[in-house]
Chain A
Amino acid sequence: DTAVSQTPKYLVTQMGNDKSIKCEQNLGHDTMYWYKQDSKKFLKIMFSYNNKELIINETVPNRFSPKSPDKAHLNLHINSLELGDSAVYFCASSDGLAGTDTQYFGPGTRLTVL
Chain B
Amino acid sequence: AQSVSQHNHHVILSEAASLELGCNYSYGGTVNLFWYVQYPGQHLQLLLKYFSGDPLVKGIKGFEAEFIKSKFSFNLRKPSVQWSDTAEYFCAVNAHGGNKLVFGAGTILRVKS
Contact = CB atoms under 8 A, between A and B. Distances in A.
Contact of B99 (A3, A41, A90, A99): A99
A41 B49 CA distance: 21
A38 to B, nearest CB: 9
A102 B97 CA distance: 15
Nearest to B105: A41
Contacts of A66: none
Contacts of B49: 100, 102
A45 B43 contact: no
A3 B43 CA distance: 10
Interface of A: 3-4, 31, 35, 40-45, 48, 55-56, 90, 92, 94, 97-107
Contact of A103 (B101, B102, B105): B101
Contact of B46 (A35, A55, A102): A102
Nearest to B92: A43
A93 to B, nearest CB: 11
Nearest to B95: A99
Counting chain A CB atoms within 10 Å of each CB, the highest count among B34, B46, B96, B101 belongs to: B101
Size class of the B contact interface (CB-based, 8 Å): 20 to 34
A2 to B, nearest CB: 9
A7 to B, nearest CB: 14
Interface in B64-113: 90, 92, 94-106
Nearest to B97: A99
Contact of B106 (A41, A92, A103, A106): A41
A42 B78 CA distance: 24
Given A45-B102, A102-B34, A104-B45, 17 more contacts: A31-B99, A41-B106, A42-B103, A42-B105, A43-B90, A90-B44, A94-B99, A97-B99, A98-B99, A99-B95, A99-B99, A100-B32, A100-B51, A103-B46, A104-B43, A106-B43, A107-B43
Contacts of A90: 44
